[in-house]
Amino acid sequence: MGSSISDRLSAMRGGSGGFTPHVPDDVGGRVRRLLLGVIGLVAALVLLPTTVTYVNPGHVGIVIHRAGGGVDKTPLGPGLHLRNPLTTGIEEYPTFMQTLVLTKNSTEGSQGNDEINVNSVEGQPVSLDVSMSFELDPSRVPALYQTFRTDIASIQHSYVKQSIRQALQEVVGNEEIAAIIGPKKSEATLRAQALLEKRLSPYGIMVKQFTINELRAPQSVIEAINQKNVMQQQALTAQNELQKNTFQAQGDSIKAAGRAKAIMAEAEAQSRANELLARSITPTLVQYEMSKRWNGQMPQVSGSAMPMIQLPKP
C-alpha cells in the first residue's frame, strides 16, 4: 500500500519533483470564449449609442466619410439615422432663419467691435452698423461644408462679413458721404442687399433682409454737412423771397397797365365827347340857351343905357 501511494505521488509530480495539476482542455476554451464575449458586450454597449444619430428640427446632418474625407451630396433630415461610427461622422447645420449682427457695440448682438468701415467717393471714412437675416438652402449645405470645412458661425464672421464689407464699399464708394447719410441711405441699402444675394446664393446662403442700422462719419464732416444744409436752406429762402417779389412786381405792373389803359380810354372818350360837343355849339344855340334862362328882369346896372339882348335875324 505504501508503494502504491508513493507511485501515485510520483506520477502527480511528473517524475521530476514538481507538482503540475491536470486541467482539461475544454475548460480553458470556455474561459477564453467567455472573456471574448464580455469584451464584445462591453464594446457593443459603448458603441451602440454612436450608431444612432439624431438630427434636430431645423437642422440637416452632413455625412462625412472619415476614410476618404468625402461628403455625401444628400444631407440627412431631422430625426433618427443609423450610421457606422467608425467610418462616418455627422455634422449638424442649422437651416432656420438666422441674423448676423455687425455693430460697434457688443451689447447690440455683435461679438465685439464688428462695425464695417468703408470710404465714400471723396475718400472720407464711414463706419456702419448692419444686420443681415438669412437661411441656408438644405440641399446645398453639404457643398457649403465641403467648401469651408467649418461651422456656420465661423463662416458668418469670415466670408459673409467680408462679403458685406465688399458690397458696402462698392455702393458707398460711388456716392458722396452727404448723400449716403441723407437721402440715398435707403437706396444704398437695397443695392448692397442685391450684391449680397448675388454673391452668397451660390453657396446656398439665401439673404432675406439686409439693414443699415447706423452710419458714423467724422465730426468735421458732419459739421460741414450741417453748415451746407443751413446755407442751402438760406439760399432757398432767399430764392423764394425773390420769386415772391418778382410775382408781386409783375402783378403791380399788370395792375398799373390796366389803370393806364383805363385812363387812356377815359381820356379818349372825353376827347371824343368834347369834339362832338364843340361841333354841336353854334351862335344860335347859345342865344337860344341864354333866352331860356332869362327870367324877364333887366339887369340892375348904373347909367341910362338899357342893355339889350341881340337876337339873331331869322
Taking all residues of the chain, what is their mean pLDDT, rounded to a whole number? 80
**Taking a C-beta distance cutoff of 8 angstroms, is the pair 209, 119 a contact?**
no
Percent of the chain with pLDDT over 90: 39
Q: Distance between CA 126 and CA 2 in Å, rounded?
A: 114
What is the per-residue pLDDT for 195? 97
Q: Distance between CA 17 and CA 11 in Å, rounded?
A: 10
- Inform me whether the pLDDT recorded for 307 exceeds 60: no
Q: Distance between CA 206 and CA 199 in Å, rounded?
A: 10
Which residue has cell 447719410?
181
pTM given for the model: 0.60
Q: How confident is the model at residue 1 (pLDDT cuts 50, 70, 90)?
A: very low
**Taking a C-beta distance cutoff of 8 angstroms, is the pair 175, 126 a contact?**
no
What is the per-residue pLDDT for 210? 97
Q: How confident is the model at residue 109 (pLDDT cuts 50, 70, 90)?
A: low
Digit-coded pLDDT (tens) for 201-211 = 999 999 999 99
Of residues 164 and 183, the one with the higher pLDDT is 164
- What is the phi/psi pair of residue 303, to 5°? 110, 170
- The cell for 25 is 482542455
Q: Distance between CA 210 and CA 133 in Å, rounded?
A: 7
